[in-house]
Amino acid sequence: MFGLSLQPRHRLFSVFGVPVFADTSALALLAIVLWTNGRGGPSAIVGSLLLAAVVFVSLVGHELGHALMIRARGYGRSDIILGGLGGVCRWQGSPTRGDMIRIALAGPAVSLGLAAVSGALHAVTPVGLAAGLPAQVLRLGLIVNLVWGVFNLIPIYPMDGGRALRSALAFRYSMRDATRRSLQVSFACGVAAIGLGVFVRDPIAVAVVALLLFQNWREWDTLR
């Protein structure tokens, strides 16, 4: 669950009554990926489109988990906006601390559920079909949803884990103290994540976490 800039949004469709939009950064990222991989020939383009489709469905499923929990807890309408760094479920409301935890964790729960279903279906795929397109989709579904679900549970604000931690701390501390303590945990986890990203040589992960820590620093500065 990332905060997205207020870029122009394009409505795609609705699912279970929840409108789904894509902002300019999402469309630009897709164009860059296709252009970069297009130089690898038709097979690379097909592979990129397949990955993009699985990521798209996975992100919508994740954010839909938030949206349906928002509706179930009585907070009304929400929108899903997909961007270059993921997605966000935007809504209006002042949830209780318990409901905020439920809403924050609903997205990762859906992602991990999709990963489990993909893995189970892949496990029963006949050996003769293991190299086919359906098996490839299931493998990608397992990997993408597992990574996205676990990543969002890391207590780095404003990801789902960070939001859930802040709300959980608010049961014991004032909201100001809960925010301060959650930001301290967020900084520590972010630094560790950046170190891991450098170790495994993943510049994209490092850049994403660095951007999140910048948002944390801005909030910390405001809190002071």
**Residue given tokens 């097979």 in the structure block:** 43
DSSP 34-67: HHHHHTT-HHHHHHHHHHHHHHHHHHHHHHHHHH
Q: Of 23, 63, 99, 160, which residue is the catalytic one?
A: 63
What are the CA-CA distances from residue 29 to residues 34, 86, 113, 142, 206 (Å)? 9, 11, 27, 22, 17
Q: How far apart are the first and last CA of the chain?
A: 25
Cis peptide before 158 (omega within 30 of 0): yes
CB neighbourhood size of 223 (10 A)? 10
Is-catalytic flag, 219? no
**Residue given tokens 């949206």 in the structure block:** 67
| Separation of CA 136 from chain center | 22
Residues known to be catalytic: 63
